[in-house]
Amino acid sequence: MQRAKRLSSHRGASGPIWTTTTFFHGLVRAVEIIGEAASRVSAETRAQYPGIPWKAIIGTRNKVIHDYVSVDHDILWDTVQVDLPGLIAQLEEILSEPDNPLTS
């Protein structure tokens, strides 16, 4: 969750930081970790939270790992800027539940 929040904190970034190779590789790594974490959530738990696009999250992870040559940097950045803040909000809500299935 902390990695997703740090990544989301760069919303609206443009210019030098976004154009650096180091930043992009860090962005890809963070997306990989988020997707890997999503893939470890049980099918039962995923079914409890159909509003979270589990399949898309995991699919994005697979894309950046296995088809990294064709990853469009702008699309990936747009995904982080547009989709990640909402995902963070959804996950924080789930994590605030007393007996949430994500931490048990």
Active site residues: 61, 66
CA–CA dist 99, 40 (Å, integer): 18
CA–CA dist 50, 23 (Å, integer): 32
CA–CA dist 77, 90 (Å, integer): 20
From residue 2, alpha-carbon distances to 30, 44, 85, 92 in Å are 10, 25, 12, 11
